[in-house]
Amino acid sequence: MPAYLIANYTITSPEGYAEYSSLVGATLGSSGGELVVADFACEAVEGEPAPVSVVLKFPSKEAARDWYNSEAYQAVVGLRRASTEGFLLFADGVG
């Protein structure tokens, strides 16, 4: 079953986030992950979400966890953490 990483955040350091953005794509290679959403001006319909939403699709939640915990991603995740405020979560897809 596919799984998704769903992120919603505010960029607090554009320079740091630009560096993260330039590096993160290369970490997806062997995980089977793919970028399906990257919106920097989300339109809120309910609640008060942050303006940036990103969704990555993986073959499974295990594959998503493996990517997140990989040496390659852990080498760059600190840039995102230092440059944004928000959340990330893993969610199972449907069938």
The answer to whether the beta carbons of residues 74 and 1 sit under 8 Å apart is no
Single-letter amino acid, residue 33:
G
Q: What is the pLDDT of residues 2-28, one digit of tens each?
A: 999 999 999 999 999 999 999 999 999
* Class of the CATH domain delimited by 3-92: alpha beta
Over residues 24-44, mean pLDDT: 94
- The tally of CA atoms less than 13 A away on the side-chain side of residue 27 is 21
pLDDT at position 59 is 97
pLDDT digits (tens, 9 = 90+) for 48-85: 999 999 999 999 999 999 999 999 999 999 999 999 99
Q: What is the pLDDT of residue 14?
A: 97
The C-alpha atoms of residue 94 and residue 13 are separated, in whole angstroms, by: 35
Which residues, 6 or more positions from 78, have their beta carbon under 8 angstroms from its beta carbon?
none
pLDDT of 95 > 80? The answer is: no
29 has a pLDDT exceeding 90 = no
**Nearest of 15, 84, 3 to residue 51 by alpha carbon:** 84
- Going across the sheet that includes 84-92, the strands are 34-39, 52-58, 3-11, 84-92
- The domain ranges of the chain are 3-92
